Chain A
Amino acid sequence: MSEQNLSPVFAARGLVKRYGHVTALDGTDFELYPREILAVIGDNGAGKSTLIKVLSGAIIPDEGQILLNGQQVRFHSPIDARRQGIETVYQDLAVAPALNIMENIFLGRELRRPGLLGSLFHMLDKRRMLKDTVRYMQDLKIGIRSMNQRVETLSGGQRQGVAVARSAAFASHVVIMDEPTAALGVKESHMVVELIKQVRDRGLPVILISHNMPQVFEVADRIHIQRLGRRAGVVKPSDISMSDVVAIMTGAMTVPGEKIAR
């Protein structure tokens, strides 16, 4: 690991979340380093989705801290997390199908025209938004002909491409992808995986939640294994076999050697 990668971009210490008698998170730690894809995996009930919801601001933990670039932060809502540079891509294609690509990319962050037209009449600067949209899509090598196309005319993979482009364009620190390929076919999933790599290669660290083990092994730099509300360990796909990871996930095996791979 190089010098600049020593401190995590995004981290959590001792996260606890209880629902009545059920403890979903039982002191989970978490670290995400610059320029990496960190996969988060875990069996049902391991606290994987609770962890992700805490990191994306959808759930407020009972205990523990969240650190963004070493500074403690508190998120009260996903919008709060977004404002601090953490964007989330959801599995269920969170786009408005009847709006076009440009309108979806800029939904809630529209640009207004300069001068009176913008300040007095609140008029949108469609030309500038169109230009930026083309650039965002080109950055990720997503080839769609017209940005004025309604999102409903796109395939599932292309729609997810729009969602990924939006998060990559506006995230200043972290992109969280919550099962981004769960609703897609094999070929389309593959394209989204390529997009995830593009996002990392352009300098943004990615947290990837996935059930798809071959996909995790293909794309992840490190794998965070969640078990019984805690982090069972972090492994590198190059150091371990898929079956051993599944064994750790289910508790049949513990993490060999150093528990937290770097």
Chain B
Amino acid sequence: MSNVIAQERPEASPPLSLRSRITQILSLPAVGPLLALLIASAFFTWRTDKFLTGHNLSLIVQQVVVVGTLAIGQTLIILTAGIDLSNGMVMALGSVIMTSFAVDYGMNPIVAIVIGLLVTTAFGLLNGTLITLVRLPPFIVTLGTLNIAFAVTRIYTTTTITDLPPSIIALGKTFALGKTAITYGSILMLILFLAIWFVLRETAWGRHLYAVGNNPEATRLAGISTTRLLIGVYALAGFIYGVAGLLLVARTGVGDPQAGQTSNLDSITAVVLGGTSLFGGRGTILGTLVGALIVGVFRNGLQLIGIPSIYQVLITGILVILAVSVDQLSHKGQA
């Protein structure tokens, strides 16, 4: 970059050479993860015919639905330079409330679902309020609410809630696309990804979210209420965890107080694999979808070719370190 500012004539759309176009595309945050996903998929397609079938791909998506949805909320929070350790436990609490209120108290399932969503949203609100108004670090706040949500769930019930009414597990039902059965839950997750993608890209709120993760002081000086913005982000994430809870119930057919114990780290893994920076302000929501799918593809593919699933954990570990290294190195060149 030239040091002289009053040199070139400004233009709205400069002509780019092919080479700079390629560099530009490769430097987009989600391209690396997407390549990893495609290479892994190509590898498994080569090793087994069972991988690239409509049935199997639909299965992979079903398997990542819960973590993928949690990772949407996690992405929003990490973009603000925060982190959420509580999401799996908040989801479990939400799903136990939804199922228990509907089964044990015979409540209308829709009302039970709404109450569950309100509770998870309230947890998000609590996280956001403690982080902004009491100025506590997100790591500590969500470590606290992780324990609180876990304890509240276990105090409330230790038994799995079964015999659920059909409407509460409706999202687990499938429809046929050609010969492939696809769950409504998978579609709901994809719609959520697209909705958040739109909001982050096309609205002022979305751009502010990046700005606050990037330079909170500049964002505040630009007249944006960072407190309101962050509380909103954590509350929205809480609501999304409630949706993840509903998807979990639909997928497993029960309300499980033991659920979600490693989901916080699984969702952070998906976000990081998707190329979002833990330093905040950089990343894409579609990258997170790719990150979640990478984990799902390895788990499914290794199983299909008969390799023990512990190797999936090993590969995930290596990929996480790789992804964070790329993030760290790409930061070094910048002032």
Contacts and interface: CB of A to CB of B under 8 A. Distances in A.
Nearest to A92: B217
A108 B208 CA distance: 8
A200 to B, nearest CB: 16
B1 A143 contact: no
A212 interface: no
Contacts of B217: 94
A146 B214 CA distance: 21
B252 interface: no
Contacts of B215: 94-97
Interface in B1-18: 1-14
B307 interface: no
B298 interface: no
A155 B1 contact: yes
A98 B214 contact: yes
Nearest to A145: B14
A117 to B, nearest CB: 9
Contact of B202 (A94, A123, A146, A153): A123
A179 interface: no
Nearest to B9: A143
A143 B5 contact: yes
A96 B223 contact: no
Query: What bracket does the count of chain A residues touching chain B fall in?
Result: 35 or more
Nearest to B207: A103
Given A108-B223, A123-B202, A130-B12, A96 B3 contact: no
A137 B204 CA distance: 22
A112 B204 CA distance: 8
B10 A134 contact: yes
B12 A99 contact: no
B329 to A, nearest CB: 15
Interface in A24-55: none
Contacts of A98: 210, 214, 281-282
B155 interface: no
A132 B206 CA distance: 21
Nearest to B283: A98
Contacts of A83: 223
A230 to B, nearest CB: 29
Given A108-B223, A143-B6, A161-B5, A95 B218 contact: yes
B224 A142 contact: no
A124 B199 CA distance: 10
B219 interface: yes
A143 B2 CA distance: 11
A143 B8 contact: yes
A142 B11 CA distance: 11
A167 to B, nearest CB: 11
A206 B82 CA distance: 38
A143 B214 contact: no
B207 A107 contact: yes
A194 interface: yes
**Of listed B7, B8, B205, B223, residue having the most chain A CB within 10 A:** B223
Interface in B189-207: 198, 202-205, 207
A261 interface: no
A110 B203 CA distance: 9
Contact of B224 (A107, A131, A152, A153): A107
A188 B3 contact: yes
B314 interface: no
Contacts of B176: none
Contact of B334 (A95, A143, A152): A152
Contacts of A161: 5
Contacts of A78: 221
B211 interface: yes
A185 to B, nearest CB: 8
Contacts of B222: 94, 107-109
Contacts of A156: 335
Contacts of A134: 10-12
A95 to B, nearest CB: 6
Contacts of B13: 146
A23 interface: no
A145 B1 contact: no
A144 B334 contact: no
Interface in B122-169: none
Contact of B223 (A82, A90, A187): A82
B7 A131 contact: no
9 contacts: A122-B203, A124-B207, A134-B10, A137-B10, A143-B6, A146-B11, A146-B13, A157-B5, A158-B1
Given A97-B335, A155-B3, A157-B3, 8 more contacts: A96-B211, A109-B222, A110-B207, A121-B202, A121-B203, A122-B203, A137-B10, A142-B5
Closest 3 CB pairs of A and B: A108-B222, A110-B204, A143-B8
Interface of A: 78-79, 82-83, 88, 90, 94-99, 103, 107-110, 112, 121-124, 130-131, 134, 137-138, 141-147, 152-158, 161, 187-188, 191, 194
